[in-house]
Amino acid sequence: MDVSGVLSALVAGTAVGALGRLLLPGHQHIGVLWTLVAGIAAALLGSLLAAAFGLGDGAGGDWLEFLIQVVVAGIAVAGLDRWLRASL
């Protein structure tokens, strides 16, 4: 992966993580770095899930893949928030 691939993964992870965080009500006790990590992981996992279900191959599938990524990011942010609250 070249530099542009890493930068695009960071931008996509930030966007997916931020949107996933917006899905959750209330205040989350995780910072920007954990949101970024959750977003990048969710983007990768969401892409794998979309490919497993045959989505993301044109005809609006890219939007479905993005929606899956955002939902996975919301789950990841909620899990990280719960984990950090339990460890405090």
> Of the given ranges (37-41, 49-53, 59-63), which has the lowest mean pLDDT?
59-63
Q: Which position has the token pair 């794998």?
A: 48
Please give the span between the terminal C-alpha atoms of the chain, in angstroms, as a whole number.
37
Most confidently modeled range among 41-45, 58-62, 65-69, 76-80: 76-80
Q: Name the nearest CA neighbour of 18 among 55, 69, 79.
A: 69
The dihedrals phi and psi of 2, each to the nearest 5 degrees, come to -90, 180
Over residues 14-19, mean pLDDT = 87
Q: Contact at 8 Å (CB) between 22 and 78?
A: no
Over residues 52-59, mean pLDDT = 74
Number of Cβ within 10 Å of residue 34's Cβ equals 19
Q: Which position has the token pair 């969401």?
A: 46
Over residues 6-34, mean pLDDT = 83
